[in-house]
Amino acid sequence: MGKLNMAAMLLMLMFVSIADAQVFDIGKYGGKPNSDIAQALTSAYKEACASTTPSKVVVPKGTYNLSPVNFEGPCKAPIEFQFQGTFIAATEKTTEESWVAFSNINGLTVSGGGVFDGQGPTAWGKCEKNEYCKSLPMNFRFNFIVGGSVTDITSKDSKQFHVNLLGCKDLDFIRFTISAPGESVNTDGIHIGRSSGIKVIDSNIKTGDDCVSIGDGSQQITIQGVTCGPGHGISVGSLGKYKNEEAVVGVTARHCTFTGTSNGVRIKTWPASYEGSVSDMHFEDLIMNNVANPVLIDQAYCPWNQCNAKVPSKVKISGVTFKNIKGTSSTPIAVKLACSSGFPCQGVELADIDLKYTGKEAPAALSQCSNVQPKVSGRMNPPACTAPVSLN
């Protein structure tokens, strides 16, 4: 059978499965608006998960309270959660690491237009340099999910990370909305760890930390059509802090827009680090609107002086392209490639960069490089690697 016919058949089977899915409405399990539906939702899920044919757990429109829930697989067939309502997290301190968790499920769909309000403002003020911050739950956790999508869902005001992925494969986030103010603490939008084939598509992320952060062991990650801001941009890393970190390979960010963020696209590794590697990174067709660090490789990432910045990073960076990046920088150094003196960056390319500086500290945007000799082509504003390197 030809590839086209096979694809058409798989698509037809998928639609048939969705149409024939057995429906488990939480109303049948006692779930009602303006009450805590954790028990009803868990009961509906257990029956749906046991179904040998595709199933759908439905939460109708309405406002619901929701205690922490963990949907643990494996299930006997693909399962869909259709969240149509607005869900409110508890404000009391909890020992749970996540509010809504999905684990060990093959064929997971989360959809329905639902809004998950983590009630973050009740916790953020207690977070700054406080152990309390480490115990706050994330809005969503996806552990070891294989095949699926999260579509038309909103994560609002998470107490910590909005979404954390671990060990997932072929999971797509489509038209996913993250909404939190810039001052929200430690609220990464989507953190991807040791996962492969992850796509974040046509999504809008406003938060107080990285819009998308990519940790060790992640491979073949695609970020496309994402708007980011406020936030800290799209970050690979930080890497090298822990022993036995796995390589990061194959990250592409394209057709994204950054507005008022502290960074655009960056790769960050710790100095005095353990060994590691980052390769096959591609950042292209990006728009920067008043971004502090539009293009950044930082191999001396050392917040709060937690490390020995004089010892070079041992994380090897290679095969990185920055292409067709336009807009404005809110700081004079619009392009900064600060690579490790112990392991200089290899195969870095700059092409068609046009970034203007909007402030008054310098007459024009500048580009700064250390321990790297990038290949340069096309328009280059600022001129590549012409600014003096700071000793600080």
The 10s digit of each residue's pLDDT in 203-213 is 999 999 999 99
SS3 label, residue 122: helix
| Nearest Cα residue to 223 out of 246, 252, 244 | 252
Instruction: Give the integer Cα–Cα distance in Å for 186 and 184.
Output: 7
Percentage with pLDDT > 70 across the chain = 92
Instruction: Enter the tokens of residue 314.
Output: 């041992």
Worst-scoring range by mean pLDDT, 8-12, 91-95, 161-165, 248-252? 8-12
Instruction: Give bridge partners of residue 163 from the DSSP assignment.
Output: 140, 190
At residue 26's C-alpha, the angle toward residues 94 and 81, to 5°, is 75
Beta bridge partners of 156: 117, 179
Nearest CA among 175, 173, 171 for reference residue 195: 171
Active-site residues, by number, are 232
Instruction: Look at residue 48 in the predicted model and tell me its pLDDT.
Output: 98
Average pLDDT over residues 136-153: 97
Q: Is the predicted pLDDT of residue 307 greater than 60, yes or no?
A: yes
Closest CA to 41 of 100, 105, 104, 107: 100
Q: Where do the domains of the chain lie?
A: 56-381
Let me know if domain 56-381 sits in CATH 2.60.40.10.
no
User: What pLDDT digit, counting tens, does each position of 339-359 carry?
Assistant: 999 999 999 999 999 999 998
Per-residue pLDDT at 173:
98
CB-based contact 285:311 (threshold 8 Å): no
How many CA atoms are closer than 13 Å to the CA of 7, on its beta-carbon side? 3
Q: What are the pLDDT digits (tens) for 227-257?
A: 999 999 999 999 999 999 999 999 999 999 9
Tell whether the model's pLDDT for residue 81 goes beyond 70: yes
pLDDT at 390: 63
Helix/strand/coil for 125: coil
